[in-house]
């Protein structure tokens, strides 16, 4: 792979710095001998400028080396890891700017201790490969970290949504539905909305929507529900209203071209949730729900119906406003999919606030079958054998045997209509504490089932568990190592 201009400037600057230091010259010394200003040389060494031919000649003469040697991209052994790093795409694939990190500073650190830092970076890359982590998965992991760092609440996006509602004179009690959104997109922005199914585009049957930039056409799958169509249209409006050019063209990720695409998709989705489920009315509904001493599945379903939204959009929106409006931030959000009648569960989304709460993704292990997030999928499958069941709600107090945490978990499951014979569950978990129990009365509901759970079967110490589907191999190995350490410590 060839190096781009910015990388060539970085290599030249680091090479110049190393040669200057090997000669024992300060920036002032090199400035005096070459006739170039100290500030200019400093800019070159930081990879921000690349000198013209006459200035390169002056630097080469001052350093006592050949012109061709100075401009050559061939590096000595000490700086070779830098070249390898640049050729690996590491600097272009990782969104350093997003975290306020200047790649030039990273390379400057690398030039000071190239072997150690390069080994560290290579180790990170190898870990990612060992866990089959693609660049796309890394982008999503970065986004999750960003969301968690901000408690998944973004005042600037809330304000944009609020201004949109105000400017369009949409009252708090007015539902922003698919008809309003489709008319707005069509009349104001010239978006052509068409509906399709697998007969029209067989290969696209599992995708909710596709945007065609050339014709400004938004294709929406006929199989999705009215609330899903509303979210699709609201997200499309988010891209346009916030002028987000770098964006995915499909609702499901087929190809990820950059982190900017991933981040912009998140912003448009957040905007969609904020205009579909307005903050103040939702806060009032939650206050009424939280004041109930008994958890009511019916009350939660009424909130879903009130806002005419999907369970996932509602729980995600609740997850966003709890830290800001209720000062509740010890939360997790999970989304699972499972084929009807199957015991194969796929964790497709997770978010954790304050700390990495259990449960969390464990691809190579078996999730605890006692989680309500999984049990509700089994129960929905059983109900579907006898009749069509659209949506069920369940709650559980999960006592984590090994971690010692306790969570009140609410799960909602329904068929995933875009994929036949597939169900989806979304869950929100509140860590139970005296402070949170004062704000949510039903956390103390004695009728809600308490269940001892753990992270995975492979790590679980509950040996009499009837739901276990795998031996506690990781736990057994951990205990064996502990015994070996104790035995070695007691040797005379």
Sign of CA dihedral 299, 300, 303, 309: negative
Q: Are both 5-130 and 149-276 of the same fold?
A: no
Residue 35 has pLDDT above 70, yes or no: yes
Q: What is the DSSP string of 237-250?
A: HHHHHTT--S--SB
Mean pLDDT, residues 397-410 taken together: 89
**Buried-state track 191-201, b at ≥16 Cβ within 10 A, e below 16:** bebeebeeeee
Percent of the chain with pLDDT over 90: 53
* Residue 34: predicted pLDDT: 93
* Residue 154: predicted pLDDT: 94
| Class in CATH terms, 5-130 | mainly alpha
Sign of CA dihedral 67, 69, 70, 74: positive
* SS3 assignment, position 414: strand
Q: How many CB atoms lie within 10 A of CB 474?
A: 18
Sign of CA dihedral 246, 247, 248, 253: positive
> Is-contact 172 274, C-beta < 8 A?
no
As a CATH number, domain 149-276 is 1.10.10.2910
Residue 403 has pLDDT above 50, yes or no: yes
- Strands of 133-249 (E only): list them: 192-196, 209-212, 217-221
Angle value at C-alpha 394, between 391 and 398, nearest 5 degrees: 150
Residue 255 has pLDDT above 70, yes or no: yes
- Quick: pLDDT tens for 267-317: 999 999 999 999 999 999 999 999 999 999 999 999 999 999 999 999 999
- Quick: pLDDT tens for 86-141: 666 666 666 777 667 776 666 666 656 655 666 666 666 666 665 556 677 778 88
* Residue 1: predicted pLDDT: 42
| Confidence bin at 22 (pLDDT 50/70/90) | confident
Angle value at C-alpha 147, between 160 and 409, nearest 5 degrees: 110
Q: Which range among 33-37, 101-105, 442-446 shows the weakest confidence by mean pLDDT?
A: 101-105
Mean pLDDT, residues 348-359 taken together: 74
Query: 94 — phi, psi (to 5°)?
Result: -95, 125
Percent of the chain with pLDDT over 70: 85
* SS3 assignment, position 160: helix
Q: Report d(CA 137, CA 141) in Å as an integer.
A: 6
Residue 258 has pLDDT above 80, yes or no: yes
Mean pLDDT, residues 455-481 taken together: 87
What's the half-sphere exposure (Cβ side, CA atoms, 13 Å) at 237? 29
Boundaries of every domain in the chain: 5-130, 149-276, 279-480
Mean pLDDT of the chain: 86
| Confidence bin at 36 (pLDDT 50/70/90) | very high
């Amino acid at each position: 792979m060839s190096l781009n201009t910015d990388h060539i400037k970085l290599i030249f600057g680091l090479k110049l710095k190393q040669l200057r230091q090997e000669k024992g010259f300060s920036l002032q010394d090199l400035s005096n001998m070459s006739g170039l200003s100290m500030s200019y040389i400093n800019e070159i060494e930081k990879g921000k400028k690349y000198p013209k031919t006459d200035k390169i000649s002056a630097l080469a003469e001052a350093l006592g080396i050949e012109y061709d040697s100075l401009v050559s991209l061939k590096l000595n052994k000490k700086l070779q890891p830098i070249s390898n790093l640049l050729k690996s795409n590491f600097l272009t694939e990782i969104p350093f700017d997003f975290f306020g990190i200047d790649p030039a500073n990273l390379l400057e650190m690398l030039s000071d201790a190239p072997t150690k830092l390069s080994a560290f970076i290579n180790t990170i890359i190898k870990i990612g490969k060992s866990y089959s982590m693609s660049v796309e998965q890394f982008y999503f992991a970065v986004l999750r970290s960003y969301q968690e760092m901000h408690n998944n609440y973004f005042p600037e996006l809330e304000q944009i949504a609020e201004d949109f509602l105000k400017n369009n004179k949409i009252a708090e009690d007015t539902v922003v539905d698919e008809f309003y959104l489709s008319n707005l997109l069509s009349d104001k922005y010239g978006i052509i909305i068409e509906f399709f199914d697998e007969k029209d585009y067989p290969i696209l049957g599992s995708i909710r929507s596709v945007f065609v930039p050339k014709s400004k056409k938004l294709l929406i799958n006929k199989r999705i529900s009215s609330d899903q169509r509303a979210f699709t249209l609201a997200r499309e409006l988010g891209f346009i209203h916030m002028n987000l050019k770098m964006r995915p063209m499909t609702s499901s990720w087929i190809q990820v071209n950059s982190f900017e695409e991933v981040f912009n998709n998140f912003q448009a989705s957040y905007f969609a949730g904020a205009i579909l489920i307005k903050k103040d009315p939702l806060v009032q509904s939650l206050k009424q729900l939280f004041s109930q001493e008994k958890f009511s599945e019916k009350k939660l379903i009424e909130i879903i119906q009130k806002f005419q939204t999907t369970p996932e959009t509602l729980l995600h929106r609740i997850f966003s406003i709890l830290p800001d409006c209720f000062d509740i931030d010890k939360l997790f959000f999970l989304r699972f999919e499972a084929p009807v009648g199957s015991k194969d569960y796929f964790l497709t989304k997770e978010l954790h606030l304050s700390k990495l709460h259990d449960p969390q993704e464990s691809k190579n292990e078996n999730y605890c079958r006692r989680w309500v997030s999984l049990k509700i999928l089994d129960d929905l499958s059983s109900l579907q054998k006898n009749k069509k069941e659209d949506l069920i709600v369940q709650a559980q107090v999960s006592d984590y045997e090994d971690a010692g945490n306790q969570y009140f978990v609410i799960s909602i499951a329904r068929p995933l209509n875009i994929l036949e014979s597939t169900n989806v569950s979304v869950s929100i978990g509140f860590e139970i504490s005296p402070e949170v129990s004062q704000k949510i009365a039903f956390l103390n509901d004695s009728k809600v089932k308490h269940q001892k759970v753990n992270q995975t079967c492979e790590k679980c110490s509950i040996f009499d568990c009837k739901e276990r589907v795998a031996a506690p191999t990781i736990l057994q190995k951990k205990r064996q190592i502990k015994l070996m350490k104790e035995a070695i410590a007691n040797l005379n």
